[in-house]
Amino acid sequence: MAKQQAKTKIRTVQDSIITMTELVLPQHTNQLGNLLGGQLMHWIDICAALAAAKHSRRVCVTASVDNIDFHLPIKLGDVVTLKASVNRAFNTSMEVGVKVFAENFSKHKDFHTNSAYLTFVSVGENGKPIKTFKITPETDDEKRRYKDALERRRVRLLSRKKT
User: What pLDDT is attached to residue 163?
Assistant: 64
Tens of pLDDT along 17-28?
A: 999 999 999 999
Distance CA 96, CA 51 (A): 7
Domain boundaries, the chain: 2-162
- Mean pLDDT across the chain: 92
pTM listed for this prediction: 0.90
Burial degree of 133 (CB within 10 A; 0-12, 13-18, 19+): buried
Tens of pLDDT along 124-163?
A: 999 999 999 999 999 999 999 999 999 999 998 888 777 6
Q: State whether the Cα torsion 7-85-116-129 is positive or negative.
A: negative
What are the angstrom distances between the C-alpha of 74 and each of 4, 17, 81, 108, 153?
Answer: 45, 23, 11, 14, 30
- Please check the confidence at residue 92 and state whether its pLDDT lies above 80: yes
Distance CA 116, CA 84 (A): 9
Tell me the residue type at 87.
N
CATH for 2-162, among 3.30.450.30, 2.60.120.1440, 3.10.129.10, 3.40.50.970?
3.10.129.10
DSSP letter at 141? Answer: H
Burial degree of 135 (CB within 10 A; 0-12, 13-18, 19+): buried
User: What pLDDT is attached to residue 108?
Assistant: 87
Tens of pLDDT along 28-77?
A: 999 999 999 999 999 999 999 999 999 999 999 999 998 888 889 999 99
Q: Which residues pair with 112 in a beta bridge?
A: 101
Q: Could you tell me where the beta strands, DSSP code E, fall in the chain?
A: 10-12, 18-23, 59-70, 79-89, 93-104, 109-123, 134-136
